[in-house]
Amino acid sequence: MKQLLLSVLGLLCVEAARAQTCDCAADLRFARQAYEQNYAGFAHALARRGAPAYQHFADSLQQNTQPITDLAGCEKALRRYLRYFGDGHATLAHTGAYQRLNNLQLARRKRPSLEVLDEHAVLLTIPSADSSQQKLVDSLLTANKARLARTPYLLVDVRGNGGGNARVFLSLLELLYTRPVVLDGVAFRSSPRNLAMFRAGLATPGLPADVRKRMSSIIARMEASPTGFVPGQPGRTITLGKHRVQAYPKRVSILMDHRCASATEEFLLAARQSSKVTLFGQPTAGTLDYADLYLEPLPSGLFAVSIPMSRSLRLPDRPFDANGMKPDVPVPGWEFDWADFVRRYWQEKS
């Protein structure tokens, strides 16, 4: 009955969305201003293609949006603007009732799970890194702590995980730990709007103490330097906390694909530094050069654009987004059962 009600509500919301109109020119004008003033990758986009090329593109698109009032046409124009930056984090989101309902249904389906394959192997699946999943992942690992402590082989499936909050993976990284994990730091673009977003984030109830401390430091740096970029940490790298090396699991195989993005890629970069870990699958999406984003609502109230505030200190020497992260062991496209492929791979190696 509940599923039927959700379906009926979804149909009603679709019909309502079709009837909505928007001032597309106003939405695009606002999106342009937001990106030009706050996006961490904007200067790189200008340097790559030239300021005159961007100005011509944006002005022409702005002119073409003047007569557009329908939802579909406006969405197409806004997405075209965002594609100019070639950044997987430069995205458009719907803010209407139908999309909120759809997101609720997706969140309910994307729950972490743990399956015992046999007495020697366990499969942990984490399909989402939404912040709401952290407690679920932590609880799952805690509930199965005794089994994991005696199981030699762990498979972790993060295929299709488009990212979210890297903290979702923290308890799993403790399980994989063999040596300190060092990750590239970031710099944040300083602007009044980005500063306001950090201040708003600092007021979030239940914010972890380490996150609160880091955000407070960034706020202080932005207040001291209102323009340009400010460091997100004291040095150029971040070293994750030390943990005790667990006897089990002895070998960890992580399944990844081209849909793995953002925080999931950050997890993979950290996990690969464990001597227990081997990555299987396909290259990832490549969305880490510009990150730490927030959603900026557009004047119509129907759309929001994501604004990445940070730039990786890998740049410009070691860009990540162009190629993503490659697996240690590619999985052929004809393979259907990836877990079985991993099992056969290790059998042949032994």
**Strand residues in the chain grouped as ranges (E):** 92-94, 113-118, 121-125, 153-157, 182-184, 186-189, 229-231, 237-239, 251-256, 277-281, 290-297, 303-312, 329-330
The predicted structure's pLDDT at residue 99: 55
What's the rounded Cα separation, in Å, for the pair 237 and 81? 33
Query: Quick one: tokens of 118?
Result: 């046999």
Q: Decide: 307 and 293 in contact? Cβ < 8 Å.
A: yes
Spatial separation of the C-alpha atoms in residues 82 and 88, rounded to whole Å: 9
Determine the pLDDT at residue 243.
85
Q: How wide is the angle at C-alpha 136 spanned by C-alphas 157 and 13, nearest 5°? A: 90
| pLDDT over 70 (residue 4) | no
Tell me what the mean pLDDT of segment 197-206 comes to: 94
Give percent above pLDDT 90 in the chain.
Answer: 83
Cite the beta strand spans of 15-149 per DSSP E.
92-94, 113-118, 121-125
The pLDDT value recorded for residue 21 is: 81
Half-sphere exposure of 11 (CA within 13 A, CB side): 5
Write down the pLDDT at residue 20: 72
Please count the CA atoms within 13 angstroms of the CA of 265 that sit on its side-chain side. 26
pLDDT at 320: 96
Predicted structure pTM score:
0.88
Q: What pLDDT digit, counting tens, does each position of 36-60 carry?
A: 999 999 999 999 999 999 999 999 9
Residue with tokens 């762990």: 154
Name the least confident of 20-29, 91-100, 107-116.
91-100
Which residues share a beta bridge with 293? 308
CATH class of 110-186+233-289+319-349: alpha beta
Per-residue model confidence as pLDDT tens digits over 105-162: 555 567 999 999 999 999 999 999 998 899 999 999 999 999 999 999 999 999 999 9
User: pLDDT category, 350, cuts 50, 70, 90?
Assistant: confident
**CA–CA separation, 30 vs 28, rounded Å?**
5
Q: What is the pLDDT of residues 174-196, one digit of tens each?
A: 999 999 999 999 999 999 999 99
